[in-house]
């Protein structure tokens, strides 16, 4: 089986302030999640199959909050579990960065609604197609995820992806066989690992693990 683990970064300063975008670091809650995620990775992901060299993959975006979330996962990790070697390689992909909100980076949703009513309306009626001024749309993310999905599907090792809300909505919808048009409102909760397993059909089976705090 090929198992993918998807998670958002731990709570960031901008999450706490309800601001869009940015490149803030983690809050103390977010850091606690990072520690729990590392323990979960060592205990679960790296020991998933019975081969001698089980090379789990760790992919993060290039942003501060995802790299801080992955910081306690040793990589490459080489540990001996009985007579089995387990390790985890880390790659940083800009393709996994959060939707870029252009001129609206750092604003709150309330500020956008109050000061840019026309734009807020356009996004409301066509969330997937709406492109932020000098920024990105969900469609733009789909095109940058395309090569990454090809790469992902050519591997058989368990892979942990630490990314962001909009990006994970699209990846999740693709892997679960949902319409992309419906994907932009899917809830991807913080501090939760989505475990998706290929089942030989077009969609994965899903398990959610809330790690807190």
Dist CA 153 CA 155 (whole Å) = 6
For residue 90, say whether it is annotated as part of any ligand binding site: no
Output the furthest CA–CA distance in the chain (Å, rounded). Answer: 62
SS3 66: helix
Contact 44, 158 (CB under 8 A): no
Binding ligand F6P by CB under 6 A: which of 4, 6, 46, 101?
101
Under rule CB under 6 A, residue 99 binds ligand F6P: yes
Under rule CB under 6 A, residue 161 binds ligand F6P: no
Ranges assigned E (strand) in 2-82: 3-8, 53-60, 79-81
Binding ligand F6P by CB under 6 A: which of 36, 57, 164, 195?
164
- The nearest distance, CB 11 to ligand F6P, in angstroms, is 10
C-beta neighbour count of 13 within 10 angstroms = 16
- Let me know if 185 is exposed, middle or buried by CB neighbors in 10 A (0-12, 13-18, 19+): exposed
Binding ligand F6P by CB under 6 A: which of 98, 160, 168, 188?
98
For residue 134, say whether it is annotated as part of any ligand binding site: no
Under rule CB under 6 A, residue 188 binds ligand F6P: no
Contact window for ligand F6P (CB under 6 A) among 26-34, 52-60, 159-167, 186-194: 159-167
Active site residues per annotation = 9, 98
For residue 163, say whether it is annotated as part of any ligand binding site: no
Binding site for ligand F6P (CB under 6 A): 15, 20-21, 98-99, 101, 164-166
């Amino acid at each position: 089986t090929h198992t993918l683990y998807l998670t958002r970064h731990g709570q960031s300063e901008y999450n706490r302030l309800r601001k869009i975008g940015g490149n803030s670091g983690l809050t103390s809650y977010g850091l606690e999640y990072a520690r729990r995620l590392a323990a979960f990775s060592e205990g679960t992901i790296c020991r998933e199959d019975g081969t001698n060299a089980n090379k789990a993959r760790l992919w993060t975006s290039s942003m501060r909050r995802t790299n801080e979330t992955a910081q306690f996962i040793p990589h490459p990790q080489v540990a001996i579990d009985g007579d089995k070697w387990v390790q985890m390689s880390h790659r940083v992909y800009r393709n996994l960065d959060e939707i870029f909100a252009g001129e609206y980076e750092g604003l709150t949703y309330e500020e956008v609604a109050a000061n840019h009513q026309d734009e807020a309306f356009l996004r409301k009626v066509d969330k997937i197609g709406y492109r932020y001024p000098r920024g990105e749309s969900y469609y733009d993310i789909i095109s940058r995820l395309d090569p990454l999905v090809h790469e992902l599907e050519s591997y058989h090792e368990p892979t942990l992806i630490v990314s962001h809300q909009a990006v994970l909505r699209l990846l999740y919808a693709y892997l679960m066989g949902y319409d992309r048009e419906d994907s932009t409102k899917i809830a991807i909760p913080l501090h939760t690992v989505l475990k998706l397993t290929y089942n030989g059909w077009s969609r994965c089976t899903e398990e959610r693990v809330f790690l807190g705090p």
